[in-house]
Amino acid sequence: MNRFAAPIAEQIWDMKYRFKEADGTPIDATVEDSWGRIAKDLAKVEDDPEHWEEQFYAALEDFKYLPAGRITAGAGTARNVTLFNCFVMGTIPDSMGGIFEMLKEAALTMQQGGGIGYDFSTIRPKGADVKGVAADASGPLSFMDVWDAMCRTIMSAGSRRGAMMATMRCDHPDIEDFITAKSDAARLRMFNVSVLITDPFMEAVKADGEWELKFDGEVFRTVRALELWNKIMQGTYDYAEPGVIFIDRINKANNLGYCETIAATNPCGEQPLPPYGACLLGSINLARLVPNPFEADAALDLSALNELVATAVRMMDNVVDASRFPLDAQAREAAAKRRIGLGVTGLADALLMVGQRYGSEEAARQTDEWLHAIARAAYLASVELAKEKGPFPLFDAEAYLASGAMMDMDEDVREAIREHGIRNALLTSIAPTGTISLYAGNVSSGIEPVFAYAYTRKVLQKDGSRTEEEVVDYAVQMWRDKFGEKELPDYFVNAQTLAPLDHVRMQAAAQKWVDSSISKTINCPEDIAFDDFKEVYMEAWDSGCKGCTTYRPNDVTGSVLSVSEDKKAPEVIANTDAEPMRPHGDVVYMSEPLDRPQALEGATYKLKWPDSEHAIYLTVNDVIEGGRRRPFEVFINSKNMEHFAWTVALTRMMSAVFRRGGDVSFVVEELKAVFDPRGGAWVGGKYIPSILAAIGGVLEQHLIQIGFLEGEGMGLKSDPQAEIVSMQQNRGKSCPSCGQYDLRMVEGCMTCGSCGHSKCG
């Protein structure tokens, strides 16, 4: 019997979670072997390992409990990897030595696959005095560029990628530069960025008051709070960043507020963590806990839920002892507080199974009840563990129970904690589950709505051909199995049609019983008015959310996969004036090369790379088409013979691309993204990750000067050769892993529906 509910589930298991030899030979013959491997490894710290191995296996069986990917892939393999998903690094000192010590720690953590968060608010602003060296500070953004290059280098070594989060306080003098940093499409690609929003700032926004930007007690300047808020909103409206973190609310609600201060989160925002904080993740699959779906008496099995939660908490607590850590400071922090992040996936599917419309007030009340039940079960299970194994070392009963989150907990739970202590300081978190939800049979992800009822996925075969398969949402497939092709009821809604404020209602309902935070993306239509967009964030603040992340498809962010409810696959279409398309809809055929005139106008640029004996000369010649100048050919020359082969190759390739016409601005973006593992250089006060990136920058400046590009990091002013190749609107960007046009923003992560690739690792 095949345990997988869909072909994509087995493919995800094989690609990401199946234990294999270094040469790819499978060690886990079946998914049951994977479950057994995990159960055995996490039970080994128990006094009765055989009993608990059986219990753990039962929880994993049929995808009821889903440990996060690092646990599923790493537990029981004896490999030198961390089982923790999330890290926030140590506080960055405001000194050159301290900054680069933190960079080294970040590299070691990312080498083991951990996603990291950093607060860059502790670095003095650009232009501030640097005492003792008679110089001005370069500011936190310049050091973020260094972190970005480090992350690229780690990726080049073949390590599993861990994403990065950068935060900055809303009162830092460089906050406006931070807000707009990612408007440059080639900058800080390895980072998610979020602004730490304080309660006084929100009060000033609502009162349209003034706001001081300061560092180390010194006020650098004063701005209108509402203007700064609008800049944040405009940035995320235009290019989906920065995110917003309500940091004072997080610290007030923190169970550990008496012994830690939080200033950053992990990359997807669901884990606010102190310096060197780490958290492991896992999810209860609610879609597997509704025994009579779509029947009049359909309901979540609360008894099974309580039992499953208790087992999951014990498994996750054991991970704290079983896991390796990149740094000793992380191991000490984890052992002192034993933080875990138990969440859910399949919420939207479970709501459909009991006949409720995601986003409705009824569904929000039901979500509140289910998350309340999970919180109760988790806290009581942790109390039982404290009776058996002792509470977490920094437990202080009175201080713990006086925290914001615990003040709302049920009195019987509070009394149990007061009497026996608790094993884990924090227990609940809603994490991104994009990949594990596919592994579990394409259940709805986290607390997100169903993304699409069905879509067509192209699968690359070993012989290079592609086959197509339909990927159906788990609840929709259950409906089909039960009722055939009977029309879906009206309460079936998905992310394509859901109103943004319905998203906020569901996030707020879940947040009440989540002691950490929630990774959730609020999908907004492309044509949403800016004022309506801002209302989403204000509603998130007013309704008690700890943060807010939105996604509005546009020309900068790219559009998510277009899904039509007749389940036809999106296809690439060509303009009728162009060459007819070949039969395969996933191939774009370029036009024949443009003819070269006898004479061309152009410009030559001298590029002096630090520590290089000879300069590089870049000549770009242009052609006039449609009354506009556009690049036609490139020549790259240098006296340094070590450069000869690659400069000739780059000259030929770039010129060939330019002569085909169309939108060639991607050449700039690709060149600027190239990094040199040996290190880049500081040029003109900006860190450039490689000599190829520097060439990309020179080319970009030329294209701006001739009016081909709008500006640095920006797209075309217009495409005079747009008739050559035309693509379906809303197609978006291709997956960097499998190349399919199947990316969608889920829980703050750009995730591929075809291969499960996620920006967040």
524 is catalytic: no
Instruction: Report the interhelical angle of 225-239 vs 530-542 (nearest 10°).
Output: 110
Tokens 């599917």 identify what position? 349
Backbone angles phi, psi at 707, to 5 degrees: 85, 15
Contact (CB, 8 A) for 213 and 139: no
Tokens 């709501």 identify what position? 351
Contact (CB, 8 A) for 748 and 269: yes
Amino acid at 695: I
Contact (CB, 8 A) for 630 and 622: yes
Query: Residue 274, preceding bond cis, omega within 30 degrees?
Result: no
Distance between CA atoms of 738 and 333, rounded to whole angstroms?
38
Backbone angles phi, psi at 87, to 5 degrees: -140, 140
Distance between CA atoms of 116 and 191, rounded to whole angstroms?
10
Backbone angles phi, psi at 363, to 5 degrees: -65, -35
Q: Which of 105, 270, 633, 700 is catalytic?
A: 270
Instruction: Tell me the helices (H) and strands (E) count for the chain, helix number first.
Output: 23, 26
Helix, coil or strand: residue 591: coil
Distance between CA atoms of 85 and 464, rounded to whole angstroms?
34
Q: Which of 192, 266, 318, 494 is catalytic?
A: 266
Distance between CA atoms of 514 and 424, rounded to whole angstroms?
14
Amino acid at 496: Q
Distance between CA atoms of 696 and 6, rounded to whole angstroms?
44
Strand partners, 243: 194
Q: Would you mind telling me the total number of residues written for the chain in this entry?
A: 761
Nearest to 16 by CA among 503, 562, 438: 438
Nearest to 534 by CA among 226, 74, 178: 226
Contact (CB, 8 A) for 415 and 409: no
Amino acid at 597: P
Nearest to 378 by CA among 301, 299, 446, 283: 283
Instruction: Report the interhelical angle of 31-43 vs 49-60 (nearest 10°).
Output: 140
266 is catalytic: yes
CA 643 to chain centre: 37
Nearest to 161 by CA among 604, 750, 753: 750
50 is catalytic: no
Q: Which of 268, 279, 524, 752 is catalytic?
A: 268
- Residue positions annotated with a catalytic role: 266, 268, 270
